[in-house]
Amino acid sequence: MDKIGHRYVIQYFYLKGLSPSGSKSALDSTLGESAPSYAMIKNWVAQFKRGRTSCEDEHRTGQQNEVTTPETFKKIHKIILDDRRLKVRELADIVGLSKSAIHRILTENLDMKKLSARWVPRLLTIDHKQHRADVSMNCLAMFTKKIKTKFLRRFITMDEKWVHHYTLETKQQSKQWTSRGEPASKKAKTTLSAGKVMASVFLDARGKTRKSSKTVDIEKKFVLQ
């Protein structure tokens, strides 16, 4: 349901005598996440109380006709594809339209939304993936040939964690505009920096944990602090 449809439903509930909170509960139970916000419902109920009868957008003086033209959509889409991290305010300044018009074009006409980058351990190349597959096949072959318990006793797993000296980019900062069905962008958890140390932990089949000297030093620092 589009925003005009929401307004008609709000008007219907208002004429029935429902309060804004009652209208919000009824819309949430029917529409779920696509239901309008409480602030929007409260605003339109106030307008209906003041005597407004139309649910359509009122014509604004000086409103630009090119807002709804396909050429404007293509222009905005091209700008977004060149820099997917642009804010609505920045895009409005570039195109010369209001922020509300830009947001409406992005979400309704271009069917786009801003998503945070999905964290992955590393951005692997084709060679990296093939090497990991080869190592896994070799380990599986040795596992089937030798006695399983003997093989597992010699197998040591290892995990590592970068401890940074500064705060990395947040998920909010990594948001980019994407079209419906387009996957979110990816970024590696570890980035090049001068201020970081590596914490490493090793674990064998018997549950014995072994730590690198750097990991022990890091833990000592945290305890002392």
CATH code of the domain in which 37 resides:
1.10.10
- pLDDT, residue 213, reads 54
Cα(171)–Cα(202) distance, integer angstroms: 30
Please check the confidence at residue 132 and state whether its pLDDT lies above 50. yes
Residue numbers of the domain that contains 31: 3-49
Q: Give me the residue label for tokens 């409406």.
A: 104
Residues with Cβ < 8 Å from 24, sequence gap 6 or more?
Answer: 35, 38, 41
Average confidence (pLDDT) over 73-98? 88
Q: Considering the domain boundaries, does residue 55 fall inside one?
A: no
Domain shared by 106 and 185, yes or no: no
Domain shared by 136 and 216, yes or no: yes
Total number of domains constituting the chain: 3
**DSSP-assigned letter for residue 167:** P
Domain shared by 124 and 218, yes or no: yes
Average confidence (pLDDT) over 107-127? 84
Which residue did the predictor score with more confidence, 68 or 216?
68
Domain shared by 131 and 219, yes or no: yes
Mean pLDDT of the chain: 79
| Distances, alpha carbon 127 to alpha carbons 130, 133, 190, in Å | 5, 10, 19
Average confidence (pLDDT) over 126-132? 91
- pLDDT, residue 225, reads 41
Cα of 4 vs its chain's centroid, Å: 27
Domain shared by 139 and 198, yes or no: yes
Residue 188: phi, psi to the nearest 5? -75, 145
Domain shared by 126 and 220, yes or no: yes
Q: Considering the domain boundaries, does residue 57 fall inside one?
A: no
Q: Considering the domain boundaries, does residue 58 fall inside one?
A: no
